[in-house]
Amino acid sequence: MSSVEGDQQTAAPPRPSSWAAFHHIAFTVVWTATVVSNVGTWMFNAASGWLMTSLEADPLQVALVQVASNLPIFLFAIPAGALADIVDKRKFLIVVQIVLTLFASASAALVWFGLMTPSQLLLFTFLLGAGAAFAAPAFQSIVPDLVPKQDLASAVASNGVGINISRAIGPALGGVAIGSLGIAAPFWINAVSNLAVIAALIWWRPANSRSGSLPPERLIEALVTGIRHARHNTELRATLVRAVAFFFFASAYWALLPLVARSRIAGGPELYGILLGAVGAGAIGGALVLPKLKAALGPDRLVAAGTLGTALCLVMLGLARQVELAVAACLLAGISWIAVLASLNVSVQVVLPDWVRGRGLAMFVTVFFGAMTAGSALWGQIASSFGLPIAHFAAAAGAVLGIVATWRWKLKAGADVDLSPSMHWPTPIVSIDAEPDQGPVLITVEYRIAKGHRDAFLSAVRHLSRQRRRDGAYQWGVFEDAADPGRFVETFKVASWLEHLRQHERVTNADRVLQEQIRLFDAEPKVTHLIASPHGHVKRQPMLASQTP
């Protein structure tokens, strides 16, 4: 071995531990409190589904419990994601958790006194789902504040394990609590479990939050910018398409499982809890073998395999008359669920830059629960009209067809591009006092292209369209001077001067690579800023060529 090789081996960083996040007390406390709260939530979900079968046995009405739980996240996740990017996340989460505790306590009291009606149950399920929708993006966004950057992957994975632990034991505990303590017990436990998160957040004192040099975005601006980014982020759109194709059909077994337990197998709440627990147990088992499956299959084939497993699960539930077959189906459902969900989640994470991560994740959550909501309503209606087996078989067939229909939309498995901020756009030099809200702003970049390079330049510069729009531009174009061969002008507009300054902070290293490729055609393009005057005319603001965007 040469000395160089020896030095390289000595300098190699140690392989990070899967449990590294638990070395940090703040993460451990918040993680534990969240698992406790999630156990209470799953107990509530199991109890509410079972209670509805007692109040109203119609399959559509039972499926509407799942709709009421998922619909709020579809409606509110995107504004919640914008809030997560612009407010104090810790204080926001404390307020949301207090409101959730009040709603959960009110629902428990109604069940305790025997006053709960089907419509009230759906209302409280909707309200609790709305609270969860507003909390979810903020909870995901505080993870980098709980652990250092090198342990972030461990923290994300540990959060997934925590969710599946609560999914495995929560429904089973709910069934036991109903059988031994009465139907109101899971509702009260859910209310009390929220106190754990409130206490953990009050105890936690994060370090000074990271802040940029610019003021935070306003809510409406943040929403518009986030939606525009998602529209022009082709990798994110691919993941969302694959998500719809899976969750719409997978929603069938979640929505109809109470009826499988009660009507098809003639079981009680304990059986329903066992079936839900089997889904969680399958997910935990799937998580243990997930790294090997990812390495062997890759994200696209793994999602296809998970979808096929879900289709088989649906067929088994459609045929189930025995407990053993239903439990086996739910175990398979859990394995398939974690395989697909983890692959989709990783694909979303690696295609989002930090400045829009909360909103991008909210888009994914919106699509996720929107598909679950629409699917639950449809499969409940089909089961009501044609019976449970037909609903399960139809969903299974649709899931298989969805693989074929969306195969061309490819997922990302890792960070093959660098989306960290490049900060290579210096602050522009201006000769007037531009107000932050003054706009719109027209940015022009003039290129001089040598003869014979026209087609190659146009092919390269058009890739800037999505980049500019992802970072905040609402209009883009490239123009060729009819009287001056070789002169091309790229233009893009942003809403205000402040929004353009934000573009400077949003440009990534991947964007920089593309821009440097275009600079090979013209090393010093001329950049100009035109700011709409408050008096109706346009003022021209020069920018040094070295500050090219």
Predicted confidence (pLDDT) per residue in 157-171, tens digit: 677 677 767 876 777
- pLDDT tens column, 144-160: 788 876 676 567 667 76
Confidence tier at 463 by pLDDT (50, 70, 90): confident
Query: Residue 209: CB partners within 8 Å, gap ≥ 6?
Result: 88, 145
pLDDT of residue 17: 54
- pLDDT tens column, 70-105: 788 878 888 888 887 777 888 889 999 999 999 999
Query: Residue 294: CB partners within 8 Å, gap ≥ 6?
Result: 302, 343, 413
Using the 8-state DSSP alphabet, how is residue 548 labeled? -
pLDDT of residue 295: 80
Rounded (5°) CA angle 332-409-396:
35
Confidence tier at 204 by pLDDT (50, 70, 90): very high
485 closest CA partner among 450, 518, 455, 461: 450
> Which secondary structure element, helix H or strand E, spans residue 396, and what is its range?
helix 388-405
Strands across the sheet with 487-494, in order? 475-480, 487-494, 441-448, 526-532, 538-543
Domain check: are 125 and 180 in the same one? yes
The residue count for the chain: 549
Residue 1 has pLDDT above 60, yes or no: no
Classify residue 7: in a domain, yes or no. no
Classify residue 435: in a domain, yes or no. no
Residue 527 has pLDDT above 70, yes or no: yes
Confidence tier at 58 by pLDDT (50, 70, 90): confident
How many domains is the chain built from?
A: 2
Confidence tier at 447 by pLDDT (50, 70, 90): very high
Residue 491 has pLDDT above 70, yes or no: yes
Mean pLDDT of 262-284: 79
Domain of residue 485, CATH code? 3.30.70.100
Domain check: are 128 and 256 in the same one? yes
Domain check: are 242 and 376 in the same one? yes
pLDDT of residue 416: 64
- pLDDT tens column, 329-384: 999 998 998 889 878 877 887 788 878 877 888 888 888 888 988 898 899 889 98
Classify residue 37: in a domain, yes or no. yes
Classify residue 431: in a domain, yes or no. no
Rounded (5°) CA angle 422-413-342:
115
Mean pLDDT of 195-215: 79
List the domain range (segments joined by +) for residue 463: 441-547
Residue 444 has pLDDT above 70, yes or no: yes
Confidence tier at 539 by pLDDT (50, 70, 90): very low
Domain check: are 399 and 455 in the same one? no
Residue 61 has pLDDT above 80, yes or no: no
Q: Please give the backbone phi and psi of residue 406, each rounded to the nearest 5 degrees, phi first.
A: -115, 15
Classify residue 391: in a domain, yes or no. yes
Classify residue 278: in a domain, yes or no. yes
Domain check: are 377 and 447 in the same one? no
Query: Residue 195: CB partners within 8 Å, gap ≥ 6?
Result: 101
Domain of residue 165, CATH code? 1.20.1250.20
Please spell the DSSP secondary structure of 338-375, one letter per residue.
HHHHHHHHHHHHHT--GGGHHHHHHHHHHHHHHHHHHH
Confidence tier at 113 by pLDDT (50, 70, 90): very high
Domain check: are 192 and 58 in the same one? yes
Average pLDDT, rounded, for the chain: 83
Confidence (pTM) = 0.75
pLDDT of residue 543: 41
pLDDT of residue 354: 77
Residue where a domain stops, chosen among 353, 377, 405: 405
> Which secondary structure element, helix H or strand E, spans residue 442, and what is its range?
strand 441-448
Confidence tier at 18 by pLDDT (50, 70, 90): low
How many angstroms separate the CA atoms of 174 and 275, rounded? 12
How many angstroms separate the CA atoms of 28 and 146, rounded? 9
pLDDT of residue 208: 59
Residue where a domain stops, chosen among 405, 432, 466: 405
